[in-house]
A and B are shown apart, each in its own frame.
Chain A
Amino acid sequence: NAGVTQTPKFRILKIGQSMTLQCTQDMNHNYMYWYRQDPGMGLKLIYYSVGAGITDKGEVPNGYNVSRSTTEDFPLRLELAAPSQTSVYFCATHNEKLFFGSGTQLSVL
């Protein structure tokens, strides 16, 4: 099992561009989460989902959108990238505990 797979691993965006961070899992977990981590800081919850078709906001949802059409996939969309969104993004699933992907390092210049 691959667990939680995030793509891409690195990306540089220009201000105003949009992109989708991909997250897919093969563990059949219903709960999925998106976190961001700024340099030297802790993890902040962006969005989460309790199952296909159901999503909800976390602590810092502004500037992001999510969808959950299948159990496996939970993409995170940035519509108008801003320098404040420069961060490392982690996707995770949950089944009694959290299982994290390896992260996407995003720079907005």
Chain B
Amino acid sequence: LAKTTQPISMDSYEGQEVNITCSHNNIATNDYITWYQQFPSQGPRFIIQGYKTKVTNEVASLFIPADRKSSTLSLPRVSLSDTAVYYCLVGDGKWRGGGNKLTFGTGTQLKVEL
């Protein structure tokens, strides 16, 4: 299973773009990369998923370089409501390249201030 490494915490201000990078040096060929967001007292919820290059949806973008050993979640123009913990998960996705044992890293606590 690919182990993931993320910064423990990040601070930002409203309206700024936030980029959170996740390292996953031993990612397997079939592994997808998925990012989840978790608010206090709630279960994590899906943000975005990708395999390579760039993926964009209505809330975020995901950048994955050619070697796929890292990925960057980009949140445009954050607001106070984006204050949450963000987890990078490798091995998710339809091919389940990481197997069935889906384990999380420590996550990144993002704090957005006025």
Which residues of chain B come closer than 8 Å to A41, judged between CB atoms? Answer: 106
Give Cα A96 to B97, complex, Å: 11
Which residues of chain A come closer than 8 Å to B89, judged between CB atoms? Answer: 98
Which residues of chain B come closer than 8 Å to A101, judged between CB atoms? Answer: 43
Give Cα A100 to B43, complex, Å: 5
Q: Does A75 contact B (CB under 8 A)?
A: no
Q: Does A26 contact B (CB under 8 A)?
A: no
Consensus secondary structure, chain B interface: loop
Q: Which segment, of A42-50, A64-72, A79-87, faces chain B?
A: A42-50
Mark each residue of chain A from 21 to 63: 1 if its CB lies under 8 Å from any CB of chain B, else 0: 0000000000101010000011111001010000010110000
Q: Does B63 contact A (CB under 8 A)?
A: no
| Least distance between B51 CB and chain A CB atoms (Å) | 12
Mark each residue of chain B from 35 to 46: 1 if its CB lies under 8 Å from any CB of chain A, else 0: 010000111111
Q: Does B59 contact A (CB under 8 A)?
A: no
Contact A97 B46 (CB under 8 A): yes
Other-chain residue from A43, A88, A105 in contact with B104 (beta carbon distance below 8 A): A43
Other-chain residue from B41, B87, B105 in contact with A103 (beta carbon distance below 8 A): B41
Contact B42 A102 (CB under 8 A): yes
Which residues of chain A come closer than 8 Å to B41, judged between CB atoms? Answer: 88, 103, 105
Which one of A44, A100, A102 has the greatest number of beta carbons of chain B within 10 Å? A100
* 26 CB < 8 A contacts A-B: A33-B102, A35-B104, A42-B87, A42-B104, A42-B107, A43-B44, A44-B103, A45-B103, A48-B100, A48-B102, A56-B100, A58-B103, A88-B41, A92-B43, A94-B92, A96-B92, A96-B94, A97-B46, A97-B92, A98-B44, A98-B46, A98-B89, A98-B102, A100-B43, A100-B44, A103-B43
Which B positions have Cβ atoms within 8 angstroms of A?
Answer: 34, 36, 41-46, 49, 87, 89, 92-94, 100-107
Which A positions have Cβ atoms within 8 angstroms of B?
Answer: 31, 33, 35, 41-45, 48, 50, 56, 58-59, 88, 90, 92, 94, 96-103, 105
